[in-house]
């Protein structure tokens, strides 16, 4: 087998070709847009390079056939928040071959070790965790935008190498055609109508205000977490700019208590229901197809990308009020084609958000694992600590 660094046009093309070989007969897989993947490894596009490094490889067999790929990276700001310096690997795709997988994992381990790391998490993203993060372990069905999909045998490859589960991520599905539980709705309506609370939807005309409010809420909600890092407003501006074609301002809601921002709710249309038809390329035909399917309301599902609540208001029922307010939007004719909501990325270390999701009547459908490999093989992986 031959391990080759991805550093030119030819190897980049082969890097993107690997998953198309792995999933050629899998109807559940939606090919991610190649341009969006490339942006992650572009220092001019991904600000994580300001305090991090990344590398990619492809793996060829003895006859030159493609066997797999992997990326390794270190976010030095994040790595310092763990008990031991911890890097990462991701974008792993591989045939069902233990030796091939171990060759890829070993390359990522040795590179991380050279960067001063003592452990490696995977499969994760080089950047924010709401996309490209986690190994699918349960719920092998079409995934929503940003949530990884993989063959069932990947878990065995990870475990055979020595990875252990660091934490689990749950995705819940909510059938919008079924009414919310009566008790939840009564609380929600009561909270939503309290005069001291106000609910506002995002507007690009007031983008500066909403970016500041989002950072304020995020900092309040996550500052007590051991791996907390303040949000960079520039990252939010970049996300809003890059996602403008798919974002619906009516799906981004903020809650205020006497003008103080206290909670946020970010939901996006699940564009995977279109991307599954585009084969990963947004060339001119791809753009025309995307616009056609968007116009014909092909998207039936939305994904809750982010939800945060100031801890001082987590027992106030404000989260119910947000759902009540959002429900009024989803009843409008322009939004009635959405029938399914995915409430995703609820870590098992965050029982509060799990309780909120389950209170809506949503059902747990999928589980992803964030796995960790300790370089000192005498050390065991300690599960992620519970928030609160």
DSSP 228-292: -----HHHHHHHHHHTTTT--GGGEEEEEETTEEEEEEEEEE-THHHHTTTTT--SHHHHHHHHH
Mean pLDDT taken over the chain? 90
Residues 6 or more apart whose Cβ sits within 8 Å of residue 251: 266, 267, 268, 269, 302, 326, 329
**Range with the poorest average pLDDT among 74-83, 111-120, 224-233:** 224-233
Give the model's pLDDT for residue 226: 64
**Range with the poorest average pLDDT among 15-24, 177-186, 195-204, 269-278:** 177-186
Quickly state the pLDDT bin for 285 (edges 50, 70, 90). Answer: confident
DSSP state, residue 4: E
Give the model's pLDDT for residue 108: 98
Whether pLDDT at 319 is above 90? no
CA distances to 105, 171, 191, 331, 382 from 274, rounded to whole Å, are 32, 20, 36, 23, 39
- What is the value of pTM for the model shown? 0.91
User: By percentage, how much of the chain surpasses pLDDT 70?
Assistant: 98
Give the model's pLDDT for residue 279: 76
Give the model's pLDDT for residue 209: 94
**Range with the poorest average pLDDT among 11-25, 225-239, 347-361:** 225-239
Give the model's pLDDT for residue 179: 76
| Number of C-beta neighbours around residue 219 at 10 A | 15
Task: Annotate 110-174 with DSSP letters as a single string.
Answer: HHHHHTT-SEEEES--SS-TTSS--EEEE--SPPPTT-----TTHHHHHHHHT-EEEEEEEEEEE
pLDDT digits (tens, 9 = 90+) for 192-223: 788 899 999 999 999 999 999 999 998 888 77
**290 against 26, higher pLDDT:** 26
User: By percentage, how much of the chain surpasses pLDDT 90?
Assistant: 60
Whether pLDDT at 100 is above 80? yes
Q: Which of 166, 179, 56 is nearest to 108 (CA)?
A: 56
Average pLDDT over residues 333-354: 87
Give the model's pLDDT for residue 96: 98
Whether pLDDT at 381 is above 70? yes
Whether pLDDT at 255 is above 80? yes
Average pLDDT over residues 162-182: 90
Average pLDDT over residues 277-297: 77
Quickly state the pLDDT bin for 227 (edges 50, 70, 90). Answer: low
């Amino acid at each position: 087998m031959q391990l080759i660094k991805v550093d030119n046009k030819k190897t980049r093309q082969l890097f993107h070709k690997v998953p198309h070989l792995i999933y050629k007969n899998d109807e559940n897989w939606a090919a991610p847009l190649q341009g969006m993947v490339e942006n992650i490894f572009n220092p001019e596009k991904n600000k994580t390079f300001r305090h991090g490094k990344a590398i990619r490889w492809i793996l060829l067999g003895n006859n030159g056939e493609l066997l797999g790929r992997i990326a390794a990276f270190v976010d030095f700001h994040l790595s310092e928040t763990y008990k031991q310096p911890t890097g990462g690997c991701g974008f792993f795709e591989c045939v069902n071959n233990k030796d091939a997988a171990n060759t890829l994992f070993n390359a990522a381990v040795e590179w991380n070790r050279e960067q001063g790391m003592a452990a490696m998490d995977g499969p994760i993203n080089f950047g924010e965790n709401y996309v490209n993060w986690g190994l699918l372990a349960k719920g092998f069905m079409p995934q929503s935008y940003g949530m990884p999909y993989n063959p069932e045998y990947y878990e065995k490859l990870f475990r055979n190498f020595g990875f252990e589960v660091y934490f689990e991520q749950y995705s819940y599905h909510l059938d919008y055609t079924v009414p919310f539980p009566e008790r939840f709705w009564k609380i929600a309506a009561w909270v939503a109508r309290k005069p001291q609370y106000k609910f506002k939807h995002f507007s690009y005309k007031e983008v500066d205000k909403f970016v500041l409010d989002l950072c304020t809420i995020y900092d309040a909600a996550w500052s007590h977490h051991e791996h907390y890092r303040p949000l960079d407003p520039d990252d939010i501006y970049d996300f809003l700019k890059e996602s403008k074609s798919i974002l619906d301002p009516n799906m981004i809601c903020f809650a205020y208590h006497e003008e103080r921002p206290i909670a946020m709710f970010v939901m996006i249309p699940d564009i995977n229901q279109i991307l599954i038809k585009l084969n990963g390329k947004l060339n001119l035909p791809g753009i025309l197809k995307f616009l056609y399917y968007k116009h014909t309301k092909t998207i039936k599902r939305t994904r809750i990308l982010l939800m945060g609540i100031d801890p001082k208001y987590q027992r106030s029922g404000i989260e119910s009020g947000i759902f009540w307010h959002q429900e009024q939007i989803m009843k409008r004719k322009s939004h009635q084609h959405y029938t399914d909501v995915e409430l995703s990325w609820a870590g098992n270390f965050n029982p509060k958000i799990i309780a909120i999701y389950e209170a809506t009547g949503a059902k747990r459908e999928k589980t992803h694992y964030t796995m960790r490999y300790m370089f000192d093989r005498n050390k065991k992986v300690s599960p992620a600590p519970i928030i609160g």
